[in-house]
Amino acid sequence: MTTELEHLAARLREFARAREWERFHTPKNLAMALAGEVGELVAEFQWLTAEESGNPDPDTLARMRTELGDVTLYLVRLADVLGVDLMAAAHAKIDDNERRYDADLYRGSARKAPPSPRGT
């Protein structure tokens, strides 16, 4: 992980430790909490037009920022508990997508690529 992500993971670890919450921070519980926070973020977009979603009013943007923070915290905590390097995982996924979605074949197209050999 990058230094900032490592620092954030350490803060979250200490936050949980100080409250004796480690036993609640199982991968299952963290994944479920993450899904809930993603749902709260999606709810902010639910009735916006495509144009409004790209230029939300200040109050909506503030709520989106809060939900993005929640999503980030749960994602970083989940990765930390699982021992997953988020930056390495993200770069590996981009590498996989570059192989699956050749720029010359997929430029301007939203069609889905066939499944990769790893099933991602």
pLDDT over 80 (residue 1): no
Range list of H helices, 46-111 = 50-54, 58-82, 86-100, 103-106
Q: Who wins on pLDDT, 16 or 120?
A: 16
Classify residue 78: in a domain, yes or no.
Answer: yes
Whether residue 96 contacts residue 116, with contact meaning beta carbons closer than 8 Å, is answered with: yes
Q: Which domain holds residue 90?
A: 3-106
111 lies in a domain? no
Within a domain: 113:
no
CB 83 within 8 A of CB 22: no
- Tell me how far apart the alpha carbons of residues 110 and 8 are, in angstroms, rounded to a whole number: 35
Q: What would you report as the CA-atom Rg of the chain, rounded to the nearest whole angstrom? A: 18
Residue 15 lies in a domain: yes
Distances (CA, A) of 6 to 15, 40, 98: 14, 26, 27
- Residue 111 is classified by DSSP as P
Does 68 map to a domain?
yes
113 close to 106: Cβ distance less than 8 angstroms: yes
In a domain, 118, yes or no: no
For the stretch 51-80, pLDDT in tens is: 999 999 999 999 999 999 999 999 999 999
Please count the structural domains in the chain. 1
Among 68, 75, 73, 67, residue whose Cα is nearest residue 27: 75
CATH classification of the domain holding 90:
1.10.287.1080
* pLDDT over 60 (residue 102): yes
Look up the pTM and report it: 0.89
Evaluate whether residue 35 is within a structural domain.
Answer: yes
